[in-house]
Amino acid sequence: MRLSKRGEYGLRAMIVLAEPVEQNAMPVVQIKEIAQREQISAKFLEQILLALKNAGLLHSKMGVGGGYYLARSSSEITLGQIFRVLDGPVAPIKCVSQMSYEPCGCPDEQTCGLRLVMGDVRNAIAGILDNTSLADVTKRQSAVRKKLGIK
């Protein structure tokens, strides 16, 4: 498991798109606005958002006032869903992956110590990502900003 720049930027962009939703609005946000705010290449971000749209996590609106918006409530989209679309399986080794399992080269997969530990790692990471929604992140972010006196 590795969070690539593609995954990082996608997660950051989705958090930006989720922020207005917390204020009971569902505005459309332009790519250039997200790119400027998060200091991400607009062309790279466009590819990332298109992948998230194709996965059903985003919708887009064309024309004047167009851009992207969440396809579902921010409480219904998890970091795990976003991660898997952009970076693939969460598993650190393929023999513990639940989505793209591949046998490893060890003589006894069932008792392999490395596989057992990496399974725990996979479960811990997936547990956090799959149980953390965009709404959870924006609430946490708002609380920290409020505590620090940042808008």
What pLDDT, in 10s, does the model give residues 72-116? 999 999 999 999 999 999 988 889 988 888 888 888 888 999 999
**Cβ-contact 20, 27 below 8 angstroms:** yes
pLDDT at 11 over 90: yes
How do residues 20-43 score in pLDDT, each as one tens digit? 655 556 678 999 999 999 999 999
Separation between Cα atoms, residue 103 and residue 121, nearest integer Å:
18
Domain segments of the chain as ranges? 5-148
**Cβ atoms of residues 26 and 16 within 8 Å:** no
Residues 43 and 113: their CA atoms lie apart, in Å, by: 43
Mean pLDDT value across the chain: 91
pLDDT in the model for residue 23: 55
pLDDT of 134 higher than 70: yes
Task: Give the pLDDT confidence score for residue 42 in this predicted structure.
Answer: 95
| 132 or 95, higher pLDDT | 132
Determine phi and psi for 147, rounding to 5 degrees. -60, -35
CA angle 144, 82, 140 (to 5 degrees): 10
Is domain 5-148 annotated with CATH 1.10.10.10?
Answer: yes
- The structure's pTM equals 0.89
Q: How far is CA 13 from the centre of its chain?
A: 9
